[in-house]
């Protein structure tokens, strides 16, 4: 599903799996170098809460039932705590998605689309859950997700299972894997069975 279709779908009810396009953008910059992440959820959240922002390159692969091969997108992410994220896709087609507080903006094909998340309760709940991960806010996450952490500090997996019925109609689960304090991959399994896998590589600050 393209990001342009995502914006069009926002104007329809009920929401469909296109809302997951927003989710693809939001968690991509949970990265860092240095100190270790923890095996315990509380300690992991404490580590993530220390992130104030950063840059990362990404490769996004979308596995859609209607296609034989995945759609591959490459680009760069910038995150500024607590609520601004930029996703700039450089190929195969340039595109910019910006989340700033409660406003989501998409720039594509020399056109700009804007959505107010305050007018979309399901979208807002989904975004707030992802922001909870970015900020290490466990209580915010547990409003809409059941959390499960496995592995060790050197190789851990955090699984988010929707407990909110509206979110459950959009996504089956979100799986974040990493080593120490660095996120390596994020996988989204949508309600319709489509899947997206994001590979993340931290970049040095300018």
Burial call 97-136: b when 16+ CB within 10 Å, e when fewer = bbbeebebebbbeeeebebebeebebbebbbbbbbbbbbb
DSSP state of 7: H
**pLDDT-derived band of residue 127, with 50, 70 and 90 as boundaries?**
confident
More confident residue, 199 or 144: 199
| Selection from 199, 206, 203, 160 nearest residue 72 by Cα | 199
Q: Which residues contact 75 (CB under 8 A, 6 or more apart)?
A: 57, 58, 60, 87, 88, 89, 90, 91, 95
Q: Which of 7-16, 135-144, 197-206 has the lowest mean pLDDT?
A: 7-16
CA distance 28 to 99: 13
Strand partners, 156: 151, 178
Q: Are 61 and 71 in contact (CB under 8 A)?
A: yes
The single residue listed with the structure tokens 């700039």 is 88
Q: What are the tokens at 165? A: 């019925």
pLDDT(69) > 90: yes
pLDDT, position 195: 94
Per-residue pLDDT of 37-56, as tens digits, reads 446 899 888 888 887 778 88
**pLDDT-derived band of residue 64, with 50, 70 and 90 as boundaries?**
very high
Query: In what helix (H) or strand (E) does residue 139 lie, and over which residues does it extend?
Result: helix 138-141
Q: What are the tokens at 33? A: 């170098």
- Rounded-to-10 torsion of CA 10, 11, 16, 17: -30
**pLDDT-derived band of residue 118, with 50, 70 and 90 as boundaries?**
confident
Mean pLDDT of 174-199: 87
Percent of the chain with pLDDT over 90: 25
Q: What do you get for the CA distance between the two ends of the chain, in Å?
A: 33
pLDDT(95) > 60: yes
Computed over every residue of the chain, the mean pLDDT equals 78
**pLDDT-derived band of residue 126, with 50, 70 and 90 as boundaries?**
low
pLDDT, position 17: 40
Estimate to the nearest angstrom the gap between the alpha carbon of 62 and the chain centroid.
14
Dihedrals φ, ψ of 41, to 5°? -60, -45
């Amino acid at each position: 599903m393209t990001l342009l279709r995502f914006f069009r779908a926002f104007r329809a009810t009920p929401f469909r799996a296109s809302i997951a396009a927003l989710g693809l953008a939001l968690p991509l910059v949970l990265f860092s170098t240095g100190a270790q992440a923890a095996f315990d959820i509380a300690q992991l959240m404490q580590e993530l809460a220390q992130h104030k922002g950063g840059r990362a390159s990404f490769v996004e692969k979308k596995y859609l039932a209607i296609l034989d091969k995945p759609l591959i997108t490459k680009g760069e992410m910038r995150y500024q705590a607590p609520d601004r994220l930029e996703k700039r896709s450089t190929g195969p087609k340039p595109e910019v998605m910006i989340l700033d507080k409660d406003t989501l903006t998409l720039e594509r094909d020399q056109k700009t689309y804007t959505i107010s998340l305050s007018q979309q309760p399901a979208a807002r709940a989904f975004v707030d859950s992802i922001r909870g991960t970015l900020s290490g806010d466990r209580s915010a996450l547990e409003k809409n997700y059941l959390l499960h952490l496995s592995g060790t500090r050197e190789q851990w997996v955090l699984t988010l299972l929707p407990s909110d019925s509206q979110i459950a109609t959009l996504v089956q689960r979100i799986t974040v894997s990493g080593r120490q304090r660095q996120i390596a991959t994020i996988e989204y399994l949508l309600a319709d069975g489509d899947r997206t896998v994001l590979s993340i590589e931290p970049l040095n600050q300018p």
